[in-house]
Amino acid sequence: MQAKGLGLVTLAVALLLCGCVAAVIGNAPGSGTAADSRARGDAQDDAALGSAVQARIGADAVLRRAPITVSASAGTVTLRGAVGSAAQRAAAERAVRTVAGVVAVNNQLEVN
Protein backbone atom coordinates (compact mmCIF):
# COMPACT_ATOMS: atom_id res chain seq x y z
CA MET A 1 0.00 0.00 0.00
CA GLN A 2 2.84 2.43 0.78
CA ALA A 3 4.42 1.76 -2.62
CA LYS A 4 1.16 2.80 -4.31
CA GLY A 5 1.03 6.00 -2.24
CA LEU A 6 4.66 6.79 -3.07
CA GLY A 7 3.90 6.27 -6.77
CA LEU A 8 0.99 8.72 -6.62
CA VAL A 9 3.14 11.33 -4.85
CA THR A 10 5.87 10.88 -7.46
CA LEU A 11 3.34 11.28 -10.26
CA ALA A 12 1.88 14.42 -8.65
CA VAL A 13 5.33 15.98 -8.25
CA ALA A 14 6.21 15.15 -11.87
CA LEU A 15 3.02 16.79 -13.13
CA LEU A 16 3.68 19.93 -11.08
CA LEU A 17 7.24 20.17 -12.36
CA CYS A 18 6.03 20.04 -15.97
CA GLY A 19 4.41 23.43 -15.38
CA CYS A 20 7.66 24.77 -13.94
CA VAL A 21 9.60 23.67 -17.01
CA ALA A 22 7.19 25.55 -19.26
CA ALA A 23 7.63 28.67 -17.14
CA VAL A 24 11.42 28.39 -17.16
CA ILE A 25 11.72 27.99 -20.92
CA GLY A 26 9.13 30.64 -21.63
CA ASN A 27 6.21 28.67 -22.98
CA ALA A 28 3.85 29.26 -20.10
CA PRO A 29 1.32 32.05 -20.57
CA GLY A 30 2.17 34.98 -18.34
CA SER A 31 5.57 33.56 -17.48
CA GLY A 32 7.13 36.99 -17.88
CA THR A 33 9.87 35.78 -20.20
CA ALA A 34 10.95 37.90 -23.14
CA ALA A 35 10.14 36.66 -26.61
CA ASP A 36 10.45 38.12 -30.08
CA SER A 37 6.83 38.37 -31.17
CA ARG A 38 7.62 39.86 -34.57
CA ALA A 39 6.91 37.88 -37.69
CA ARG A 40 9.92 36.18 -39.25
CA GLY A 41 9.87 38.61 -42.20
CA ASP A 42 9.89 41.60 -39.86
CA ALA A 43 12.89 40.27 -37.96
CA GLN A 44 14.71 39.66 -41.25
CA ASP A 45 13.82 43.18 -42.43
CA ASP A 46 15.22 44.58 -39.18
CA ALA A 47 18.43 42.59 -39.61
CA ALA A 48 18.79 43.80 -43.21
CA LEU A 49 18.17 47.39 -42.15
CA GLY A 50 20.73 47.08 -39.35
CA SER A 51 23.28 45.69 -41.81
CA ALA A 52 22.62 48.51 -44.28
CA VAL A 53 23.08 51.11 -41.54
CA GLN A 54 26.27 49.43 -40.33
CA ALA A 55 27.60 49.46 -43.91
CA ARG A 56 26.79 53.17 -44.24
CA ILE A 57 28.65 53.94 -41.01
CA GLY A 58 31.54 51.73 -42.14
CA ALA A 59 31.78 53.70 -45.37
CA ASP A 60 32.66 56.85 -43.43
CA ALA A 61 36.41 57.13 -42.83
CA VAL A 62 36.00 58.68 -39.38
CA LEU A 63 32.94 56.81 -38.11
CA ARG A 64 34.23 53.36 -39.07
CA ARG A 65 36.87 53.65 -36.31
CA ALA A 66 34.28 54.44 -33.64
CA PRO A 67 32.83 51.58 -31.57
CA ILE A 68 29.24 52.01 -32.74
CA THR A 69 26.67 49.26 -32.42
CA VAL A 70 23.47 49.32 -34.44
CA SER A 71 20.11 47.72 -33.75
CA ALA A 72 16.89 48.09 -35.70
CA SER A 73 13.28 47.38 -34.90
CA ALA A 74 10.32 48.30 -37.12
CA GLY A 75 12.36 50.97 -38.90
CA THR A 76 13.70 52.57 -35.75
CA VAL A 77 17.48 52.41 -35.61
CA THR A 78 19.29 52.69 -32.29
CA LEU A 79 22.94 53.75 -32.18
CA ARG A 80 25.03 52.94 -29.11
CA GLY A 81 28.70 53.46 -28.41
CA ALA A 82 31.08 56.40 -28.28
CA VAL A 83 32.41 58.97 -30.71
CA GLY A 84 35.10 61.63 -30.39
CA SER A 85 32.97 64.74 -30.85
CA ALA A 86 29.45 66.14 -31.07
CA ALA A 87 30.07 66.62 -34.81
CA GLN A 88 30.74 62.88 -35.20
CA ARG A 89 27.60 62.09 -33.22
CA ALA A 90 25.55 64.29 -35.55
CA ALA A 91 27.30 62.88 -38.64
CA ALA A 92 26.42 59.34 -37.56
CA GLU A 93 22.78 60.27 -37.19
CA ARG A 94 22.75 62.04 -40.58
CA ALA A 95 24.32 58.99 -42.23
CA VAL A 96 21.71 56.69 -40.71
CA ARG A 97 18.84 58.88 -41.90
CA THR A 98 20.02 58.46 -45.52
CA VAL A 99 19.45 54.67 -45.43
CA ALA A 100 16.21 53.55 -47.07
CA GLY A 101 13.75 52.11 -44.56
CA VAL A 102 14.87 54.16 -41.57
CA VAL A 103 11.81 55.69 -39.92
CA ALA A 104 13.44 57.08 -36.77
CA VAL A 105 16.85 57.26 -35.12
CA ASN A 106 17.44 56.73 -31.41
CA ASN A 107 20.91 58.24 -31.06
CA GLN A 108 22.44 57.05 -27.78
CA LEU A 109 26.02 57.71 -28.83
CA GLU A 110 28.17 59.23 -26.12
CA VAL A 111 30.81 61.87 -26.83
CA ASN A 112 34.19 61.12 -25.26
Identify the pLDDT of residue 37: 58
Contact (CB, 8 A) for 18 and 67: no
**CA within 13 Å, CB half, 19:** 6
Q: Are 99 and 44 in a shared domain?
A: yes
Q: Are 66 and 101 in a shared domain?
A: yes
Q: Are 9 and 61 in a shared domain?
A: no
Q: Structural domain tally of the chain?
A: 2
Residue 13 structural domain: 1-34
Identify the pLDDT of residue 71: 96
Identify the pLDDT of residue 42: 77
Q: Are 29 and 52 in a shared domain?
A: no
Q: Are 30 and 57 in a shared domain?
A: no
Better pLDDT: 31 or 71: 71
Contact (CB, 8 A) for 64 and 91: no
- pLDDT at residue 3 above 90? no
Mean pLDDT score, 45-64 = 95
Q: What pTM, to 2 d.p., does this model score?
A: 0.64
Identify the pLDDT of residue 7: 67
